[in-house]
């Protein structure tokens, strides 16, 4: 099932993917964001996909980065809910066809 999902933070220009790949990509995005945060321990600077650099040693930087992580989590939850919906729909259609 090929559907177009837009990734609001992707730096690539290819947005066409299926729901399974999009679900996987949303998980990878969160882990990449956490890895970027972990690698910033020396200077405290984390680079966002937009190119903006955030200093997480300051309150404003940590608030910005925390909001960014919350956005990624909300995006992942949305994609996961669509994934579950598609899976359930496919199962229902399969049951209708086999009846």
Residue extents of the structural domains in the chain: 17-89
* Residue 10 pLDDT: 56
Cα 53 from Cα 46, distance rounded (Å):
6
Residue 54 DSSP one-character state: E
Cα 26 from Cα 44, distance rounded (Å):
24
pLDDT along the chain (99 residues), means of 10: 49 62 89 91 88 93 95 94 93 91
Given a contact cutoff of 8 angstroms between Cβ atoms, the answer to whether 65 and 56 are in contact is yes
Given a contact cutoff of 8 angstroms between Cβ atoms, the answer to whether 74 and 82 are in contact is no
Q: What SS3 class is residue 10?
A: coil
- What is the radius of gyration, based on Cα positions, of the chain? 17
The reported pTM is: 0.72
* Residue 4 pLDDT: 46
Cα 78 from Cα 99, distance rounded (Å):
32
* Residue 22 pLDDT: 86
* Residue 1 pLDDT: 41
* Residue 3 pLDDT: 42
Beta strand residue intervals within the chain, DSSP E? 2-4, 16-18, 45-47, 53-55
């Amino acid at each position: 099932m090929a559907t177009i999902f837009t990734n609001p933070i992707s730096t690539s220009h290819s947005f066409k993917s299926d729901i399974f790949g999009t679900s996987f990509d949303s998980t990878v995005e969160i882990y990449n964001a956490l890895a970027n945060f972990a690698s910033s321990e020396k200077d405290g600077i984390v680079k966002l996909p937009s190119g903006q650099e955030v200093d997480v040693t300051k309150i404003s930087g940590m608030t910005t980065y925390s909001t960014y992580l919350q956005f990624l989590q909300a995006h992942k939850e949305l994609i996961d809910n669509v994934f579950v919906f598609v899976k359930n729909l496919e199962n229902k259609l399969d049951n209708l066809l086999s009846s």
